[in-house]
Amino acid sequence: MRFACLGSGSEGNALLVESGKTRLLLDCGFNLRETTARLARLGRSPSDLSAILVSHEHGDHVGGVPRLAAKFGLPVWLSHGTHLQLAAIGQMPEQFHLFDTHHPFAVGDLWIQPFPVPHDAREPTQFVFSDGAYRLGVLTDLGRSTRHIETMLDRVDALVLECNHDVELLAAGPYPPTLKRRVAGDYGHLSNAAAAALLAKLDTRRLKHIIAAHLSRTNNRPGLARQALAQVLACEQDWIAIADQDTGLDWRQLL
């Protein structure tokens, strides 16, 4: 199993996970042209994809999904709540499958364990992917951790973890008070400190890759995110990778 990121942040998100003949795109917040260009950087094209998996209905995660799915005949997997929200605004793809946020399911060679997260969406979900030997946890777009989340992510081999903002930068930054409260609230986004606190509760002995994701351009810095996570893991800061908004993240292999 291997994974790569097309881009991560408020301007668009997409993560590519591969195992065997299965190539699954988690979210797509980029237009078709941009998605195609970003896949090409990873040696892939939209026609290589097996399916699209959607975490929630916010535009930076789902904005590019309907057109990508329609043009390339891709099935889309999503929660019941996300389906209802997209249907209400006329953005539901033609081919779709619904999943229960507490029940695992398979897409080709990938086994997927969804789990609910607190975020200001209809039924937001995050995931653990497995090929039977290794587990990749993905956790972004949530305002706080829960015991269930921590149970799902315990002993993963790789983790993509939201480090959206630095608390002090957000407080002193240009966002209006209402937006600051949303970002920092229980249904907003994880700060560096909150991500580090979550990480400290996990059994990380199997961890081979950790990627800080969904960093705010305005309210965070890569060095601050690296520092927070490296302190928990007692590792060099350079070992913490960053999923960048513009350049994404190159392939990471689980062996």
DSSP 173-197: SSS-HHHHHHHHSTTS--BHHHHHH
The full length of the chain comes to 255
CA dist 114 and 125 (Å) reads 6
* Residues ≥6 apart with Cβ < 8 Å to 65: 27, 28, 52, 54, 76, 91, 93
pLDDT per position as a tens digit, 94-129: 899 999 999 999 999 999 999 999 999 999 999 999
Mean pLDDT of 74-96: 94
Confidence bin at 90 (pLDDT 50/70/90): confident
Q: What local confidence, expressed as pLDDT, does residue 89 receive?
A: 87
CA dist 177 and 17 (Å) reads 37
What is the identity of the amino acid at 112? I
Confidence bin at 232 (pLDDT 50/70/90): very high
CB 112, CB 105: distance < 8 Å: yes
User: What residue ranges do the domains of the chain occupy?
Assistant: 2-253
Q: What local confidence, expressed as pLDDT, does residue 127 receive?
A: 98
Spatial CA neighbour of 50 closest among 132, 134, 121, 129 = 129
* Residues ≥6 apart with Cβ < 8 Å to 137: 127, 128, 152, 153, 156, 158, 159, 160, 161
Question: CA 239, 214, 28, 149: dihedral to nearest 10 degrees?
Answer: 80
Of the listed ranges 24-33, 88-97, 103-112, 127-136, the least confidently predicted one is: 88-97
Confidence bin at 53 (pLDDT 50/70/90): very high
CA dist 62 and 49 (Å) reads 16
Residues 2-253: name the CATH superfamily.
Answer: Ribonuclease Z/Hydroxyacylglutathione hydrolase-like (3.60.15.10)
Residue 15 token pair: 């993560």
Buried-exposed string 187-203: b where 16+ CB fall within 10 A, e elsewhere: ebbbbbebbbebbeebe
Q: Strand 76-79 relative to strand 96-99: parallel, antiparallel, unpaired?
A: parallel
Mean pLDDT of 67-78: 97
Instruction: Give the CA angle between residues 6, 8, 9 to the nearest 5°.
Output: 145
Q: What local confidence, expressed as pLDDT, does residue 94 receive?
A: 87
pTM for the complete prediction?
0.97
Q: What local confidence, expressed as pLDDT, does residue 171 receive?
A: 98
Question: CA 139, 150, 86, 84: dihedral to nearest 10 degrees?
Answer: 170
pLDDT, the chain, mean: 97
Name which residue leads in pLDDT, 242 or 92. Answer: 242
pLDDT per position as a tens digit, 201-212: 999 999 999 999
Confidence bin at 67 (pLDDT 50/70/90): very high
Coil, strand or helix: which one is 121?
coil
pLDDT per position as a tens digit, 178-200: 999 999 999 999 999 999 999 99
Residue 62: exposure state from Cβ atoms within 10 A (0-12, 13-18, ≥19):
buried
pLDDT per position as a tens digit, 139-181: 999 999 999 999 999 999 999 999 999 999 999 999 999 999 9
